[in-house]
């Protein structure tokens, strides 16, 4: 294992900048916010640690990129930020997310609530779910996994046409595997920062996806018509587990972070780290490092204390997103859904420690 170390001065500059105007902006943050963010360059911080590399296939090793500090983020002429007229994130579900309608509804409401807390101050809205056929996208059977895949680029074009006028961005989510072009095996997600659209698949986050016994495998390898979307009728969706929910929340917020202009983080262990494979994605934390947190705060304008409190409330409130579902139906139809408090226990404890620093 290799650890990516940066000097205290390098991290301080990446966070605060040497630009007098940006230094002044930082000094206007309240004392608690500065105290938390300064943990970025404290050598013995128990809140924010260094990035660790476990193999040559990890992202930083295999995809060399120039790091983005706060000043570069702030000065990026192509970066887009929410405006008073465009402060909504829209989520479009494509196909079913769970094996019953109630599980699908509960799952997407969980993701909505999580995004509203993570991007605190913005509104998150759900569009009516659509079938794959509504997108008119190309699809295929993957030669390696024998799972159905839909064309990510075609989905982006569909989402661009559906983007509401008050949307900062619109993101599609699906349990069907994605591919960006014929020569590629798969892609977890794809986004257009210019258009403010993205599509992300959680298919490979299911525990059985890579198993030869996976129920998602197409049983017969017959030639599938490019216009026969009936192959997606009752298509297999994995069980919604705590691990699947964690992975989904990470992917969704990481990719929306890119739409805000945050590039892959190379400073500290952070949600915005790149990941080249599932094991590396699982090592990536749910939280933003102070440098990326300052970027997102700059873009959205939230109070950091209130944001962490909202995230803790989301973890604690198991029924917050179950409006419209009677207790009996919830017990019968969503009994297999994981408890958020169990799945996010460690992260909740970490946020409580952050709040203690912020409110000291």
**Which positions are annotated as active-site residues?**
255
- Cβ proximity of 182 and 220 under 8 Å: no
Q: How far is CA 35 from CA 30, 184, 354, in A?
A: 9, 45, 10
Kindly tell me the sign of the dihedral angle through the C-alpha atoms of 16, 251, 284, 339.
Answer: positive
> What span, in angstroms and rounded, lies between the C-alpha atoms of 112 and 322?
12
> What span, in angstroms and rounded, lies between the C-alpha atoms of 269 and 286?
10
Angle at 233 between CA 229 and CA 235, to 5 degrees: 110
Q: How far is CA 351 from CA 51, 248, 359, in A?
A: 19, 19, 12
Q: DSSP class of residue 102? A: H
- Cβ proximity of 190 and 198 under 8 Å: yes
């Amino acid at each position: 294992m290799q650890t990516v170390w940066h000097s205290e001065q390098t991290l301080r500059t990446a966070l605060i900048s040497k630009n007098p105007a940006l230094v002044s902006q930082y000094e206007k943050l309240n004392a608690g916010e500065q105290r938390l963010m300064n943990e970025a360059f404290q050598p013995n911080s128990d809140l924010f640690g260094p990035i660790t590399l476990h193999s040559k296939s990890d992202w930083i090793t295999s995809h060399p990129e120039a790091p983005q500090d706060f000043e570069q983020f702030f000065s990026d002429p192509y970066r887009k930020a929410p405006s008073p007229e465009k402060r909504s994130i829209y989520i479009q579900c494509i196909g079913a997310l769970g094996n019953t309608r109630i599980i699908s509804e509960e799952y997407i409401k969980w993701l909505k609530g999580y995004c509203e807390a993570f991007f605190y101050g913005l509104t998150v809205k759900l569009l009516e779910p659509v079938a794959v056929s509504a997108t008119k996208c190309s699809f295929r059977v993957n030669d390696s996994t024998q799972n159905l895949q839909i064309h990510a680029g075609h989905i982006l074009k569909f989402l661009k046409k559906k983007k509401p006028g008050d949307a900062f961005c619109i993101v599609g989510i699906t349990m069907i595997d994605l591919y960006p072009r014929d020569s590629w095996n798969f892609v977890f997600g794809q986004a257009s920062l210019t258009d403010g659209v993205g599509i992300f698949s959680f298919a490979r986050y299911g525990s059985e996806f890579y198993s030869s016994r996976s129920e998602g495998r197409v049983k017969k390898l017959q030639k599938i018509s490019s216009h026969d979307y009936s192959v997606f009728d009752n298509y297999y969706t994995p069980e919604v587990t705590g691990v699947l929910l964690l992975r989904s929340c990470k992917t969704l917020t990481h990719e929306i972070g890119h739409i805000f202009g945050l590039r892959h983080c190379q400073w500290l262990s952070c949600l915005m780290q790149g990941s080249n494979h599932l094991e590396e994605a699982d090592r990536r934390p749910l939280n933003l490092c102070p440098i990326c947190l300052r970027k997102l705060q700059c873009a959205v304008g939230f109070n950091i204390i209130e944001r962490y409190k909202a995230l803790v409330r989301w973890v604690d409130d198991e029924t917050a997103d179950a409006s419209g579902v009677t207790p009996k139906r919830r017990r019968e139809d969503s009994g297999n859904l994981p408890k958020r408090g169990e799945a996010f226990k460690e992260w909740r404890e970490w946020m409580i420690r952050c709040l203690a620093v912020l409110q000291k």
